[in-house]
């Protein structure tokens, strides 16, 4: 529509994360929050009061006055709720993962294509300022190592850890590596739930890149770290601290203002130095940025940074990893 007209938006599911969607939509200039819906009416009432919006007992009443809906229900409900919204002609922001199966995701994508609807998926780490800090670097990772650990909580355990935590890293890796997946090796264990709580996967891409991912929902403290190596460059990102560090090998006679890490050394017949830099990480709220991107995409002024296809592709890799873990266990 290419306009700055406010988008009338509603939120379905106002639990732990949904309340933050409500908070942002209540104050985003491009959004006109119409209200919220949740099966838990006590919770919906409380969140509506907090953010001075309405809660609806009937989802159709909310849909009838909205252009767009943010779906923040548990993952098992994403496909059903999204299908209902899309069939009512609403643009949808679906929290990650897009759905619990690839078949569900494909069905949603086919519906949005038919209806010309914006579909965006909440892979929020793609908008983490620590990752965005690398936008001026040419990234061609050859080896990626990533760890995502979290203390145990019941929330999210309706799906295996691969679909809850590892999928964040799968999405980031697919966005960094511009090549199809060649093969996957994976294993995992159940510790607290009847599903997989700790998982490790190694993804090899057609271009030779290898990614090694570990996710666990049984940990003392949260860890979200990604490292990658490419020709003459080593990058480490701490998503929690918002810290990005880059080490680069350059010719020793190159003039730079960066800190030298080593004395010049001879490497591959060249006189080289290793320099360290800390690209500035902006203090921005990734959820606010993500929801702004959704509103601007509906207005026709942007494209979703994580669109439905990207959400579907991350889910496909995640479900393949999960399948492999189950085969490995049995
Ligand atoms: P939650 O259990 O705290 O909240 C879910 C809410 O949805 C509850 O209030 C529940 O009553 C409501 N609900 C359930 N089924 C519903 C239905 N059919 N219609 C309306 N309301 C319904 O869960 P959460 O931790 O907020 O997670 C919600 C989603 O957000 C999950 O898909 C999760 O994967 C995702 N999530 C994403 C991130 C992220 O980093 N992007 C972080 C946390 C959660």
| Structure confidence by residue, pLDDT tens digits, 126-171 | 999 999 999 999 999 999 999 999 999 999 999 999 999 999 999 9
Could you tell me if the CB of 72 is within 6 A of ligand 1? Answer: yes
Q: Name the residue of 15, 79, 85, 239 to mutate for ligand 1: max ligand atoms within 8 A of Cβ.
A: 15
How far, in Å, from the CA of 75 to the mean position of ligand 1? 7
Quote the pLDDT of residue 90.
98
Ligand 1, atom 20: nearest CA belongs to which residue? 38
With a cut of 90, say whether residue 262 has pLDDT above it.
Answer: no
Could you tell me if the CB of 11 is within 6 A of ligand 1? Answer: no
With a cut of 90, say whether residue 263 has pLDDT above it.
Answer: no
With a cut of 60, say whether residue 2 has pLDDT above it.
Answer: no
| Confidence grade of residue 251 (pLDDT, cut at 50, 70, 90) | confident
| Confidence grade of residue 253 (pLDDT, cut at 50, 70, 90) | confident
CATH 3.30.360.10 intervals, the chain? 127-284+318-329
Ligand 1, atom 2: nearest CA belongs to which residue? 15
For residue range 61-81, list pLDDT tens digits in order: 999 999 999 999 999 999 999
Could you tell me if the CB of 22 is within 6 A of ligand 1? Answer: no
Q: d(Cα 118, Cα 113) in Å, to the nearest integer?
A: 9
15-19, 78-82, 262-266, 306-310, range with the lowest pLDDT: 262-266
How far, in Å, from the CA of 70 to the mean position of ligand 1? 11
CATH 3.40.50.720 intervals, the chain? 7-123+286-305
With a cut of 60, say whether residue 246 has pLDDT above it.
Answer: yes
Mean pLDDT of 271-296: 94
Specify the ligand 1 atom closest to the Cα of 75. 32
How far, in Å, from the CA of 38 to the mean position of ligand 1? 10
How far, in Å, from the CA of 155 to the mean position of ligand 1? 8
How far, in Å, from the CA of 30 to the mean position of ligand 1? 24
Q: What percent of the chain has pLDDT over 90?
A: 88
Ligand 1, atom 25: nearest CA belongs to which residue? 16
Q: Is CATH 3.40.50.11810 correct for 127-284+318-329?
A: no
For residue range 94-107, list pLDDT tens digits in order: 999 999 999 999 99
How far, in Å, from the CA of 234 to the mean position of ligand 1? 36
Q: What is the pTM of this model?
A: 0.95
Quote the pLDDT of residue 268.
79
Quote the pLDDT of residue 256.
77
Could you tell me if the CB of 82 is within 6 A of ligand 1? Answer: no
How far, in Å, from the CA of 74 to the mean position of ligand 1? 4
| Confidence grade of residue 3 (pLDDT, cut at 50, 70, 90) | low
Q: Could you say which architecture CATH assigns to the domain 7-123+286-305?
A: 3-Layer(aba) Sandwich (3.40)
Ligand 1, atom 18: nearest CA belongs to which residue? 77
Tell me what the pLDDT averaged over the chain comes to. Answer: 95
| Confidence grade of residue 205 (pLDDT, cut at 50, 70, 90) | very high
């Amino acid at each position: 529509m290419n306009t700055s007209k406010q988008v009338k938006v509603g939120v379905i599911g106002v639990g732990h994360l949904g309340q933050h969607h409500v908070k942002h939509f209540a104050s985003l200039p491009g959004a006109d929050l119409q209200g919220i819906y949740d099966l838990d009416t006590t919770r919906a009432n409380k969140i509506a009061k907090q953010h001075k919006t309405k809660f609806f007992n009937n989802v159709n009443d909310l849909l009838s006055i909205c252009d767009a809906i943010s779906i923040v229900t548990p993952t098992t409900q994403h496909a059903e709720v999204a299908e209902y919204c899309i069939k009512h002609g609403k643009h949808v922001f679906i929290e990650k993962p897009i759905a619990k199966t690839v078949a569900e995701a494909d069905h949603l994508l086919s519906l949005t294509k038919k209806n010309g609807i914006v579909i965006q998926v909440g892979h929020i780490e793609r908008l983490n300022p620590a990752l965005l800090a690398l936008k001026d670097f040419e990234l061609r990772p050859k080896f990626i190592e990533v760890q995502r650990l979290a203390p145990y909580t019941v929330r999210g355990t309706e799906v295996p850890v691969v679909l809850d935590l590892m999928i964040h890293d799968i999405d980031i890796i697919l966005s960094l590596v511009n090549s199809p997946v060649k093969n996957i090796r994976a294993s995992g264990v159940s510790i607290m739930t009847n599903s997989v709580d700790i998982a490790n996967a190694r993804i090899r891409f057609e271009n030779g890149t290898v990614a090694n991912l570990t996710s666990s929902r049984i940990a003392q403290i949260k860890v979200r770290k990604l490292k990658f190596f490419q020709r003459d460059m080593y990058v480490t990102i701490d998503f929690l601290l918002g810290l990005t560090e880059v080490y680069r090998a350059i010719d020793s006679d190159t003039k730079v203002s960066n800190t030298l890490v080593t004395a010049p050394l001879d490497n591959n017949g060249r006189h080289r130095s290793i320099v360290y830099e800390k690209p500035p990480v902006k203090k921005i709220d990734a959820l606010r940025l993500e929801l702004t991107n959704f509103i601007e995409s509906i207005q026709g002024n942007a494209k979703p940074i994580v669109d439905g296809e990207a959400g579907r592709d991350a889910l496909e890799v995640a479900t393949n990893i999960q399948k492999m873990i189950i085969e490995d266990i049995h």
